[in-house]
Structure 1
Protein backbone atom coordinates (compact mmCIF):
# COMPACT_ATOMS: atom_id res chain seq x y z
CA UNK A 1 0.00 0.00 0.00
CA UNK A 2 1.46 3.37 -1.07
CA UNK A 3 1.58 6.36 1.29
CA UNK A 4 0.84 9.92 0.19
CA UNK A 5 3.22 12.61 1.43
CA UNK A 6 1.70 15.71 3.03
CA UNK A 7 1.77 18.70 0.60
CA UNK A 8 4.45 21.24 1.46
CA UNK A 9 3.26 24.86 1.88
CA UNK A 10 4.45 27.57 -0.48
CA UNK A 11 7.75 29.08 0.63
CA UNK A 12 8.27 32.80 1.29
CA UNK A 13 10.30 32.98 -1.92
CA UNK A 14 7.44 31.45 -3.95
CA UNK A 15 4.90 33.81 -2.37
CA UNK A 16 7.10 36.82 -3.22
CA UNK A 17 7.40 35.47 -6.79
CA UNK A 18 3.59 35.19 -7.03
CA UNK A 19 3.16 38.76 -5.70
CA UNK A 20 5.70 40.10 -8.22
CA UNK A 21 3.93 38.45 -11.18
CA UNK A 22 0.54 39.78 -10.00
CA UNK A 23 1.98 43.32 -9.74
CA UNK A 24 3.34 42.92 -13.27
CA UNK A 25 -0.15 42.04 -14.56
CA UNK A 26 0.66 38.36 -15.13
CA UNK A 27 -1.42 36.18 -12.74
CA UNK A 28 0.75 33.07 -12.16
CA UNK A 29 -0.46 29.55 -12.86
CA UNK A 30 -0.69 27.12 -9.91
CA UNK A 31 -1.90 23.54 -9.46
CA UNK A 32 -4.11 22.23 -6.67
CA UNK A 33 -2.67 19.68 -4.24
CA UNK A 34 -4.38 16.84 -2.41
CA UNK A 35 -5.08 19.27 0.47
CA UNK A 36 -7.27 21.53 -1.71
CA UNK A 37 -10.94 21.46 -0.73
CA UNK A 38 -13.61 21.61 -3.42
CA UNK A 39 -11.17 21.30 -6.36
CA UNK A 40 -9.71 18.04 -7.82
CA UNK A 41 -6.02 17.41 -7.23
CA UNK A 42 -3.88 18.36 -10.22
CA UNK A 43 -6.33 20.94 -11.61
CA UNK A 44 -4.78 24.26 -12.61
CA UNK A 45 -5.79 27.82 -11.75
CA UNK A 46 -4.50 31.39 -11.67
CA UNK A 47 -3.70 33.46 -8.56
CA UNK A 48 -5.64 36.72 -9.04
CA UNK A 49 -4.60 38.46 -5.78
CA UNK A 50 -3.05 37.95 -2.35
CA UNK A 51 -4.69 38.80 0.97
CA UNK A 52 -3.35 38.97 4.51
CA UNK A 53 -1.30 35.79 5.32
CA UNK A 54 -2.66 35.91 8.88
CA UNK A 55 -6.10 34.99 7.50
CA UNK A 56 -4.85 31.50 6.50
CA UNK A 57 -6.62 31.14 3.11
CA UNK A 58 -5.13 34.34 1.66
CA UNK A 59 -4.54 33.21 -1.95
CA UNK A 60 -7.40 34.28 -4.24
CA UNK A 61 -7.35 31.65 -7.02
CA UNK A 62 -9.59 31.31 -10.09
CA UNK A 63 -9.70 27.59 -11.09
CA UNK A 64 -9.38 26.86 -14.81
CA UNK A 65 -12.81 26.75 -16.44
CA UNK A 66 -14.50 28.51 -13.51
CA UNK A 67 -15.77 32.10 -13.21
CA UNK A 68 -15.48 32.16 -9.41
CA UNK A 69 -12.43 33.34 -7.46
CA UNK A 70 -11.96 31.22 -4.30
CA UNK A 71 -9.69 31.46 -1.25
CA UNK A 72 -7.03 28.80 -0.63
CA UNK A 73 -4.18 28.25 1.83
CA UNK A 74 -0.45 27.85 1.01
CA UNK A 75 -0.67 24.04 1.30
CA UNK A 76 -3.56 23.73 -1.18
CA UNK A 77 -1.68 24.99 -4.25
CA UNK A 78 1.78 24.53 -5.72
CA UNK A 79 3.86 26.17 -8.45
CA UNK A 80 5.14 22.74 -9.56
CA UNK A 81 3.10 21.16 -12.34
CA UNK A 82 2.16 17.59 -11.27
CA UNK A 83 3.08 14.55 -13.35
CA UNK A 84 0.41 12.75 -15.36
CA UNK A 85 -1.72 10.50 -13.18
CA UNK A 86 -2.04 7.63 -15.70
CA UNK A 87 1.43 6.44 -14.69
CA UNK A 88 0.34 5.81 -11.11
CA UNK A 89 -2.64 3.54 -11.87
CA UNK A 90 -0.70 0.34 -12.92
CA UNK A 91 0.67 0.14 -9.36
CA UNK A 92 -2.70 -1.15 -8.13
CA UNK A 93 -3.04 -3.76 -10.92
CA UNK A 94 -0.58 -6.40 -9.49
CA UNK A 95 -2.53 -6.55 -6.21
CA UNK A 96 -5.66 -7.62 -8.13
CA UNK A 97 -3.74 -9.99 -10.46
CA UNK A 98 -1.88 -11.95 -7.77
CA UNK A 99 -4.98 -13.55 -6.17
CA UNK A 100 -6.05 -14.86 -9.59
CA UNK A 101 -2.71 -16.64 -10.18
CA UNK A 102 -2.82 -18.59 -6.89
CA UNK A 103 -5.73 -20.94 -7.89
CA UNK A 104 -3.90 -21.86 -11.10
CA UNK A 105 -0.94 -23.17 -9.10
CA UNK A 106 -3.06 -25.24 -6.68
CA UNK A 107 -5.50 -26.77 -9.19
CA UNK A 108 -3.20 -29.33 -10.99
CA UNK A 109 -2.85 -31.40 -7.75
CA UNK A 110 -6.04 -33.64 -8.17
CA UNK A 111 -4.73 -35.81 -11.09
CA UNK A 112 -6.30 -39.14 -9.98
CA UNK A 113 -9.93 -38.08 -10.48
CA UNK A 114 -10.64 -37.13 -14.15
CA UNK A 115 -14.13 -35.81 -13.48
CA UNK A 116 -13.13 -33.68 -10.45
CA UNK A 117 -11.40 -30.71 -12.25
CA UNK A 118 -14.72 -29.39 -13.61
CA UNK A 119 -16.18 -29.06 -10.08
CA UNK A 120 -13.25 -27.42 -8.17
CA UNK A 121 -12.47 -24.91 -10.95
CA UNK A 122 -15.35 -22.51 -10.20
CA UNK A 123 -14.56 -22.47 -6.45
CA UNK A 124 -11.17 -20.61 -6.74
CA UNK A 125 -12.63 -18.08 -9.19
CA UNK A 126 -15.58 -17.40 -6.88
CA UNK A 127 -13.11 -16.92 -4.03
CA UNK A 128 -10.93 -14.46 -5.96
CA UNK A 129 -13.94 -12.49 -7.22
CA UNK A 130 -15.28 -11.99 -3.70
CA UNK A 131 -11.84 -11.06 -2.32
CA UNK A 132 -10.93 -8.32 -4.80
CA UNK A 133 -14.05 -6.12 -4.29
CA UNK A 134 -13.48 -6.19 -0.53
CA UNK A 135 -10.24 -4.21 -0.88
CA UNK A 136 -11.51 -1.53 -3.30
CA UNK A 137 -14.57 0.01 -1.54
CA UNK A 138 -12.34 1.50 1.20
CA UNK A 139 -10.62 4.18 -0.96
CA UNK A 140 -13.86 4.86 -2.86
CA UNK A 141 -15.78 5.38 0.38
CA UNK A 142 -13.00 7.62 1.68
CA UNK A 143 -13.06 9.70 -1.52
CA UNK A 144 -16.86 10.00 -1.39
CA UNK A 145 -16.71 11.17 2.23
CA UNK A 146 -14.06 13.79 1.40
CA UNK A 147 -16.06 14.98 -1.62
CA UNK A 148 -19.19 15.35 0.53
CA UNK A 149 -17.36 17.72 2.92
CA UNK A 150 -15.92 19.89 0.15
CA UNK A 151 -19.03 21.87 -0.97
CA UNK A 152 -19.44 23.53 2.45
CA UNK A 153 -15.79 24.57 2.53
CA UNK A 154 -15.97 25.71 -1.08
CA UNK A 155 -19.03 27.85 -0.32
CA UNK A 156 -17.25 29.38 2.68
CA UNK A 157 -14.23 30.20 0.50
CA UNK A 158 -16.48 31.80 -2.13
CA UNK A 159 -18.19 33.94 0.53
CA UNK A 160 -14.82 35.03 1.92
CA UNK A 161 -13.56 35.93 -1.57
CA UNK A 162 -16.64 38.07 -2.29
CA UNK A 163 -16.51 39.93 1.06
CA UNK A 164 -15.98 43.65 0.28
CA UNK A 165 -12.86 45.25 1.67
CA UNK A 166 -12.90 48.68 3.29
CA UNK A 167 -11.55 51.43 1.00
CA UNK A 168 -8.60 53.57 2.07
CA UNK A 169 -9.36 57.20 2.92
CA UNK A 170 -6.79 59.98 2.33
CA UNK A 171 -7.32 63.39 3.96
CA UNK A 172 -5.14 66.33 2.78
CA UNK A 173 -5.04 69.70 4.60
CA UNK A 174 -3.38 72.54 2.67
CA UNK A 175 -2.48 76.04 3.92
CA UNK A 176 -1.27 79.23 2.23
CA UNK A 177 0.90 82.12 3.43
CA UNK A 178 -2.26 84.26 3.74
CA UNK A 179 -3.72 81.89 6.36
CA UNK A 180 -6.23 80.19 4.06
CA UNK A 181 -6.82 76.45 4.63
CA UNK A 182 -8.46 73.92 2.28
CA UNK A 183 -9.41 70.25 2.75
CA UNK A 184 -9.32 67.38 0.19
CA UNK A 185 -10.69 63.86 0.85
CA UNK A 186 -10.12 60.79 -1.38
CA UNK A 187 -12.23 57.70 -0.58
CA UNK A 188 -10.63 54.72 -2.33
CA UNK A 189 -10.06 56.00 -5.88
CA UNK A 190 -12.81 58.65 -5.79
CA UNK A 191 -12.25 62.24 -4.66
CA UNK A 192 -15.28 63.03 -2.50
CA UNK A 193 -14.21 66.49 -1.19
CA UNK A 194 -12.05 68.97 -3.11
CA UNK A 195 -10.88 72.43 -2.00
CA UNK A 196 -13.23 72.76 0.99
CA UNK A 197 -12.46 76.02 2.89
CA UNK A 198 -11.66 75.54 6.59
CA UNK A 199 -11.41 78.30 9.20
CA UNK A 200 -7.98 78.90 10.75
CA UNK A 201 -9.44 78.60 14.23
CA UNK A 202 -10.87 75.16 13.41
CA UNK A 203 -7.49 74.02 12.05
CA UNK A 204 -5.71 75.23 15.19
CA UNK A 205 -8.21 73.47 17.45
CA UNK A 206 -7.99 70.21 15.49
CA UNK A 207 -4.18 70.36 15.52
CA UNK A 208 -4.12 70.57 19.32
CA UNK A 209 -6.38 67.49 19.54
CA UNK A 210 -4.47 65.41 16.97
CA UNK A 211 -0.81 65.81 18.00
CA UNK A 212 1.45 68.34 19.77
CA UNK A 213 3.97 68.43 16.89
CA UNK A 214 1.20 69.12 14.39
CA UNK A 215 -0.15 71.88 16.67
CA UNK A 216 3.34 73.45 16.80
CA UNK A 217 3.57 73.56 13.00
CA UNK A 218 0.11 75.11 12.67
CA UNK A 219 0.88 77.71 15.37
CA UNK A 220 4.09 78.75 13.59
CA UNK A 221 2.14 79.24 10.34
CA UNK A 222 -0.54 81.27 12.09
CA UNK A 223 2.11 83.43 13.81
CA UNK A 224 3.71 84.25 10.47
CA UNK A 225 0.28 85.11 9.04
CA UNK A 226 -0.46 87.38 12.03
CA UNK A 227 2.81 89.23 11.58
CA UNK A 228 2.16 89.75 7.87
CA UNK A 229 -1.40 90.94 8.48
CA UNK A 230 -0.26 93.31 11.27
CA UNK A 231 2.29 94.88 8.94
CA UNK A 232 -0.39 95.24 6.29
CA UNK A 233 -2.76 96.94 8.77
CA UNK A 234 -0.06 99.40 9.86
CA UNK A 235 0.70 100.21 6.22
CA UNK A 236 -2.98 100.81 5.48
CA UNK A 237 -3.34 103.01 8.57
CA UNK A 238 -0.37 105.12 7.45
CA UNK A 239 -1.88 105.53 4.00
CA UNK A 240 -5.23 106.45 5.59
CA UNK A 241 -3.62 109.17 7.76
CA UNK A 242 -1.79 110.55 4.76
CA UNK A 243 -5.02 110.67 2.77
CA UNK A 244 -6.82 112.50 5.60
CA UNK A 245 -4.12 115.18 5.84
CA UNK A 246 -4.27 115.73 2.11
CA UNK A 247 -8.02 116.00 2.34
CA UNK A 248 -7.76 118.60 5.17
CA UNK A 249 -5.30 120.70 3.14
CA UNK A 250 -7.63 120.70 0.15
CA UNK A 251 -10.54 121.75 2.32
Structure 2
Protein backbone atom coordinates (compact mmCIF):
# COMPACT_ATOMS: atom_id res chain seq x y z
CA UNK A 1 0.00 0.00 0.00
CA UNK A 2 1.36 3.42 -0.89
CA UNK A 3 1.93 6.00 1.82
CA UNK A 4 -0.31 9.16 1.91
CA UNK A 5 2.56 11.32 0.61
CA UNK A 6 3.25 8.95 -2.33
CA UNK A 7 -0.42 8.78 -3.19
CA UNK A 8 -0.83 12.57 -3.05
CA UNK A 9 2.09 12.99 -5.45
CA UNK A 10 0.65 10.44 -7.88
CA UNK A 11 -2.78 12.07 -7.80
CA UNK A 12 -1.34 15.48 -8.73
CA UNK A 13 0.02 13.99 -11.94
CA UNK A 14 -2.99 11.77 -12.74
CA UNK A 15 -5.77 13.55 -14.67
CA UNK A 16 -9.30 13.14 -13.27
CA UNK A 17 -11.42 10.44 -14.86
CA UNK A 18 -14.78 11.88 -13.73
CA UNK A 19 -15.90 15.03 -15.54
CA UNK A 20 -17.96 17.80 -13.96
CA UNK A 21 -21.07 16.47 -15.72
CA UNK A 22 -20.47 12.99 -14.28
CA UNK A 23 -19.94 14.43 -10.80
CA UNK A 24 -23.22 16.32 -11.17
CA UNK A 25 -24.88 13.08 -12.25
CA UNK A 26 -23.53 11.31 -9.16
CA UNK A 27 -24.78 14.12 -6.93
CA UNK A 28 -28.23 13.94 -8.53
CA UNK A 29 -28.52 10.15 -8.05
CA UNK A 30 -27.42 10.49 -4.42
CA UNK A 31 -30.08 13.16 -3.88
CA UNK A 32 -32.67 10.65 -5.17
CA UNK A 33 -31.41 8.01 -2.75
CA UNK A 34 -29.79 5.90 -5.49
CA UNK A 35 -26.06 5.39 -4.77
CA UNK A 36 -24.41 5.16 -8.24
CA UNK A 37 -22.08 2.30 -9.19
CA UNK A 38 -18.46 3.16 -10.06
CA UNK A 39 -15.36 1.16 -10.99
CA UNK A 40 -11.84 1.73 -9.67
CA UNK A 41 -9.08 2.83 -12.00
CA UNK A 42 -5.35 2.08 -11.89
CA UNK A 43 -4.87 5.21 -9.74
CA UNK A 44 -6.95 3.78 -6.88
CA UNK A 45 -4.82 2.85 -3.87
CA UNK A 46 -5.59 -0.32 -1.94
CA UNK A 47 -8.39 -1.49 -4.28
CA UNK A 48 -8.01 -3.67 -7.36
CA UNK A 49 -8.40 -2.12 -10.80
CA UNK A 50 -11.80 -2.75 -12.32
CA UNK A 51 -13.38 -3.59 -8.95
CA UNK A 52 -16.80 -2.03 -8.48
CA UNK A 53 -18.23 -0.01 -5.63
CA UNK A 54 -21.05 2.38 -4.78
CA UNK A 55 -20.73 6.11 -4.05
CA UNK A 56 -22.59 6.76 -0.77
CA UNK A 57 -21.71 10.44 -0.24
CA UNK A 58 -19.86 13.43 -1.66
CA UNK A 59 -17.65 15.68 0.42
CA UNK A 60 -15.92 18.98 -0.29
CA UNK A 61 -14.08 18.87 -3.66
CA UNK A 62 -11.37 21.04 -2.12
CA UNK A 63 -10.38 18.09 0.08
CA UNK A 64 -9.24 16.07 -2.95
CA UNK A 65 -10.55 12.66 -1.81
CA UNK A 66 -14.18 13.76 -1.56
CA UNK A 67 -15.94 10.71 -3.03
CA UNK A 68 -17.05 8.31 -0.27
CA UNK A 69 -17.19 4.82 -1.87
CA UNK A 70 -18.09 1.41 -0.43
CA UNK A 71 -16.31 -1.29 -2.47
CA UNK A 72 -18.45 -4.27 -3.49
CA UNK A 73 -18.35 -7.00 -0.86
CA UNK A 74 -17.11 -4.63 1.86
CA UNK A 75 -18.90 -2.75 4.63
CA UNK A 76 -16.18 -0.10 4.81
CA UNK A 77 -16.52 3.34 3.24
CA UNK A 78 -13.29 4.77 1.76
CA UNK A 79 -12.33 8.18 0.37
CA UNK A 80 -11.28 8.51 -3.27
CA UNK A 81 -10.49 11.27 -5.73
CA UNK A 82 -12.07 11.78 -9.19
CA UNK A 83 -9.05 10.12 -10.88
CA UNK A 84 -9.52 6.87 -8.94
CA UNK A 85 -13.03 5.91 -10.06
CA UNK A 86 -15.04 5.95 -13.28
CA UNK A 87 -18.70 5.56 -14.22
CA UNK A 88 -17.78 3.46 -17.27
CA UNK A 89 -17.83 -0.29 -16.58
CA UNK A 90 -14.63 -1.83 -17.99
CA UNK A 91 -14.95 -4.78 -20.36
CA UNK A 92 -13.91 -8.21 -19.08
CA UNK A 93 -10.13 -8.56 -19.18
CA UNK A 94 -9.54 -4.78 -19.32
CA UNK A 95 -8.85 -2.15 -16.69
CA UNK A 96 -9.28 1.61 -16.66
CA UNK A 97 -6.15 3.74 -16.36
CA UNK A 98 -6.05 7.02 -14.46
CA UNK A 99 -6.44 9.02 -17.69
CA UNK A 100 -9.71 7.23 -18.52
CA UNK A 101 -8.41 4.99 -21.39
CA UNK A 102 -8.96 1.22 -21.35
CA UNK A 103 -5.99 -1.14 -21.39
CA UNK A 104 -5.76 -4.94 -21.50
CA UNK A 105 -4.77 -6.63 -18.25
CA UNK A 106 -2.23 -9.46 -18.68
CA UNK A 107 -3.79 -12.84 -17.96
CA UNK A 108 -0.87 -13.87 -15.77
CA UNK A 109 -1.21 -10.90 -13.41
CA UNK A 110 -3.66 -11.69 -10.59
CA UNK A 111 -5.86 -8.98 -9.17
CA UNK A 112 -4.37 -7.45 -6.03
CA UNK A 113 -6.28 -8.52 -2.99
CA UNK A 114 -5.08 -5.84 -0.58
CA UNK A 115 -7.64 -3.30 0.60
CA UNK A 116 -7.34 -0.16 2.61
CA UNK A 117 -7.76 -0.63 6.33
CA UNK A 118 -10.88 1.32 7.22
CA UNK A 119 -10.99 0.70 10.94
CA UNK A 120 -9.40 3.44 13.06
CA UNK A 121 -8.76 2.23 16.61
CA UNK A 122 -8.17 4.91 19.23
CA UNK A 123 -7.34 3.86 22.83
CA UNK A 124 -9.68 5.31 25.44
CA UNK A 125 -6.67 6.52 27.46
CA UNK A 126 -5.53 9.03 24.83
CA UNK A 127 -6.16 12.71 25.62
CA UNK A 128 -8.94 14.52 23.73
CA UNK A 129 -6.55 17.12 22.25
CA UNK A 130 -6.68 17.53 18.46
CA UNK A 131 -3.99 15.43 16.64
CA UNK A 132 -1.18 17.24 14.91
CA UNK A 133 -0.84 14.65 12.11
CA UNK A 134 -3.13 14.68 9.04
CA UNK A 135 -6.44 12.85 9.35
CA UNK A 136 -6.38 9.23 8.05
CA UNK A 137 -7.63 8.61 4.56
CA UNK A 138 -9.99 5.78 5.46
CA UNK A 139 -13.33 6.18 7.23
CA UNK A 140 -15.06 4.11 9.87
CA UNK A 141 -17.72 1.64 8.63
CA UNK A 142 -21.02 3.30 7.87
CA UNK A 143 -24.27 1.49 8.84
CA UNK A 144 -26.50 0.45 5.97
CA UNK A 145 -29.36 2.78 6.95
CA UNK A 146 -26.98 5.75 7.18
CA UNK A 147 -25.35 5.04 3.83
CA UNK A 148 -28.74 4.77 2.12
CA UNK A 149 -29.65 8.34 2.98
CA UNK A 150 -29.15 10.76 0.06
CA UNK A 151 -26.16 13.04 0.45
CA UNK A 152 -26.31 16.73 -0.44
CA UNK A 153 -25.10 17.72 -3.89
CA UNK A 154 -21.51 18.89 -4.12
CA UNK A 155 -22.63 22.15 -5.68
CA UNK A 156 -25.06 22.95 -2.87
CA UNK A 157 -23.84 26.07 -1.04
CA UNK A 158 -23.01 25.80 2.63
CA UNK A 159 -25.57 27.03 5.05
CA UNK A 160 -24.89 30.41 6.53
CA UNK A 161 -26.13 31.69 9.83
CA UNK A 162 -28.52 34.60 9.40
CA UNK A 163 -27.58 37.76 11.21
CA UNK A 164 -29.54 38.21 14.40
CA UNK A 165 -32.08 40.99 14.06
CA UNK A 166 -32.14 43.64 16.75
CA UNK A 167 -35.53 43.70 18.40
CA UNK A 168 -36.95 47.20 18.61
CA UNK A 169 -38.38 48.21 22.00
CA UNK A 170 -42.17 48.15 22.26
CA UNK A 171 -43.97 51.44 22.94
CA UNK A 172 -47.42 51.47 24.58
CA UNK A 173 -49.52 54.67 24.59
CA UNK A 174 -52.62 54.66 26.85
CA UNK A 175 -55.27 57.40 26.60
CA UNK A 176 -57.69 57.69 29.53
CA UNK A 177 -60.84 59.84 29.68
CA UNK A 178 -63.34 60.55 32.48
CA UNK A 179 -67.00 61.51 32.46
CA UNK A 180 -66.00 65.07 33.39
CA UNK A 181 -64.02 65.45 30.14
CA UNK A 182 -60.57 65.08 31.68
CA UNK A 183 -58.03 63.26 29.53
CA UNK A 184 -54.63 61.86 30.49
CA UNK A 185 -51.99 59.93 28.55
CA UNK A 186 -49.42 57.31 29.69
CA UNK A 187 -46.42 56.14 27.64
CA UNK A 188 -44.44 52.94 28.38
CA UNK A 189 -41.20 52.48 26.38
CA UNK A 190 -40.18 48.83 26.67
CA UNK A 191 -40.36 48.19 30.42
CA UNK A 192 -39.89 51.83 31.42
CA UNK A 193 -42.83 54.22 31.96
CA UNK A 194 -41.72 57.42 30.23
CA UNK A 195 -44.91 59.48 30.69
CA UNK A 196 -47.46 59.00 33.47
CA UNK A 197 -50.81 60.80 33.84
CA UNK A 198 -50.01 63.72 31.52
CA UNK A 199 -53.12 65.92 31.05
CA UNK A 200 -54.25 66.62 27.47
CA UNK A 201 -57.11 68.76 26.18
CA UNK A 202 -60.27 67.35 24.64
CA UNK A 203 -59.55 69.24 21.42
CA UNK A 204 -56.13 67.57 21.12
CA UNK A 205 -57.71 64.17 21.75
CA UNK A 206 -60.34 64.74 19.06
CA UNK A 207 -57.73 65.91 16.55
CA UNK A 208 -55.45 62.94 17.25
CA UNK A 209 -58.34 60.46 16.94
CA UNK A 210 -59.23 61.79 13.47
CA UNK A 211 -55.61 61.37 12.33
CA UNK A 212 -55.26 57.81 13.66
CA UNK A 213 -58.28 55.99 12.20
CA UNK A 214 -61.99 56.59 11.46
CA UNK A 215 -63.02 53.90 13.97
CA UNK A 216 -60.89 55.52 16.69
CA UNK A 217 -62.37 58.92 15.83
CA UNK A 218 -65.89 57.47 16.08
CA UNK A 219 -65.28 56.09 19.57
CA UNK A 220 -63.61 59.27 20.81
CA UNK A 221 -66.37 61.45 19.30
CA UNK A 222 -68.97 59.40 21.14
CA UNK A 223 -67.16 59.92 24.43
CA UNK A 224 -66.74 63.65 23.75
CA UNK A 225 -70.43 63.97 22.86
CA UNK A 226 -71.42 62.30 26.11
CA UNK A 227 -69.13 64.62 28.07
CA UNK A 228 -70.50 67.61 26.14
CA UNK A 229 -74.08 66.62 27.01
CA UNK A 230 -73.18 66.19 30.67
CA UNK A 231 -71.48 69.58 30.80
CA UNK A 232 -74.43 71.26 29.06
CA UNK A 233 -76.78 69.78 31.64
CA UNK A 234 -74.45 70.96 34.39
CA UNK A 235 -74.37 74.49 32.93
CA UNK A 236 -78.17 74.54 32.69
CA UNK A 237 -78.43 73.45 36.33
CA UNK A 238 -75.95 76.10 37.43
CA UNK A 239 -77.82 78.75 35.46
CA UNK A 240 -81.10 77.74 37.12
CA UNK A 241 -79.43 77.91 40.54
CA UNK A 242 -77.99 81.33 39.63
CA UNK A 243 -81.39 82.65 38.58
CA UNK A 244 -82.94 81.36 41.80
CA UNK A 245 -80.19 83.03 43.87
CA UNK A 246 -80.70 86.35 42.01
CA UNK A 247 -84.48 86.17 42.61
CA UNK A 248 -83.94 85.53 46.29
CA UNK A 249 -81.61 88.49 46.52
CA UNK A 250 -84.18 90.69 44.81
CA UNK A 251 -86.84 89.66 47.27
CA UNK A 252 -84.55 90.34 50.20
CA UNK A 253 -83.78 93.80 48.88
CA UNK A 254 -80.50 95.57 48.93
Give the number of the structure whose alpha-carbon radius of gyration is greater. 2
The structure with the largest helix share of the pair is 1
With the length of structure 2 as denominator, give the TM-score of the two structures: 0.37
- Relative contact order: is structure 1 or structure 2 higher (C-alpha 8 Å, sep ≥ 6)? 2
